[in-house]
Amino acid sequence: MDIDLGPEAARFRQSMREWIAGNAPDGLATLTDWNVTGMTGGNPVNAEAERSPLYAEWERRLRAANLICAWWPEKFGGRGLTPVQHAIFTEELSRAGLPYVRRGFGEAMVGPSIMAHGTPEQQEYFLPRIISAEDVYCQGFSEPNHGSDLAGVQTKAVLDGDELVITGQKVWTSAWYRANMIFILCRTDPDAPKHRGLSYVLVPFLDNNILARPLKQMTGAAEFGEEFFDGARAPLFNVIGGLNNGWRVAMTTLGFERGGGVSTAYLRYEKQFWDLVELARKVGRERDPVVRQELAWAYSHVQIMRFTGLRALARLASGQEPGPEASTTKLFWSEYERRLGEIAADLLGAEGMIRPAGDGYPISPWQEVFLASRAGTIYSGTSEIQRNIIAERALGLPRAGSAS
């Protein structure tokens, strides 16, 4: 079913389609399946393709057209696309089989948080560096004993002149190996109540007394790492939102992390669904009623994601802030994908238990879905935490653990 977003949106779609057709380097779309993004660990095939000169040229052209961070306001180097326009742009990239360029956590999470809480001087300094990829960020929120309980972080920073000196440990840091900056939540007032003594700091990641080590996952990839801060330094200028006011900024960041791309997330699952149908055919089970039931379940879930995305888009288009749908969406796609991985593993049968030949610990794409989708129900807030948020903030139920 096609959804009519009106003549203005249709014109915009046509202009983007033409721009893409005129600017995508020949051969980029067929280099790899860009619509299959890695869930954790990135997709090794795509990572290789990103090193191609075609990709570099694509990135250069997008940048020249202000289409990196296209939804950022023009004054910050974006193209000022509305939520609807941005969704259309993303759909058109997906339709053309082309990559959406994002280098780290700056574009979707740190940048918007600086726009919301940074000073004009911080915006002027940090935002262009994200667009140019001079600064590529990773996210240093979690600690060994503080994941869900984020406000309990123990990494501390003390003032030394006009710098903060940071000690502590962060963990589960995705794509740390690409980053030259890490944004952290750290304790700057140990005597304040736990949410109030925190600061949100942009810390130079390299040559700054930070020891970073890879952590290997069950998929065989070592996509995330742990970092030991032993006197790392960051200028006070790098504190966003003011000292001891980091919790508010962190909540903005998490809102963008959980709600980001809500209107276009279904694109990836739609493609994945048809791949699953293909798998059912390949193993000769496409007429099996139980398998058909599972496929129908998966298809209807993808459509629910699509319509939920449109609802979120309508909300944004009418100028409203993202609501608790950030949590419902995150809960829905992550639980869906985990179940989908189980369906795929069932279709694979015994083959699913054998890893492909090769060095290291190679796994097939469906094994990756089965294993890595488990992580989706943990990162960006676990499913239990999302349910708590929905219960307390959306449905107004009593807080978890409260007596009545």
Rule CB under 6 A: which residues touch ligand FAD? 40, 139-142, 147-149, 172-174, 224, 375, 378-379, 381-382, 384-385, 388, 400
Annotated active-site residue 134? The verdict is: no
CB of 324 to ligand FAD, least distance (A): 17
Residue with tokens 């009623």: 289
Q: What angle do CA 136, 32, 181 make, to 5 degrees?
A: 5
CB of 172 to ligand FAD, least distance (A): 3
CB of 146 to ligand FAD, least distance (A): 7
Measured CA to CA, the distance from residue 256 to residue 250 in angstroms comes to: 10
Identified catalytic residue from 226, 257, 325, 368: 257
Closest to ligand FAD by CB, 13 or 330? 330
CB of 199 to ligand FAD, least distance (A): 15
CA distances from 349 to 52, 62, 279, 295 (A): 36, 43, 11, 16
Measured CA to CA, the distance from residue 190 to residue 227 in angstroms comes to: 21
Rg (CA), the chain: 22
Closest to ligand FAD by CB, 126 or 172? 172
Closest to ligand FAD by CB, 92 or 257? 257
Closest to ligand FAD by CB, 14 or 148? 148
CB of 371 to ligand FAD, least distance (A): 11
> b/e string for 2-31 if b means 16 or more Cβ within 10 A?
eeebeeebeebbeebbebbeeebbeebbeb
Closest to ligand FAD by CB, 54 or 108? 108
Residue with tokens 């798998």: 279
What distance lies between CA 338 and its chain's CA centroid?
17
Residue with tokens 């504190």: 239
Ranked by CB distance to ligand FAD, the top (closest) residue is 147
Enumerate the active-site residues. 257
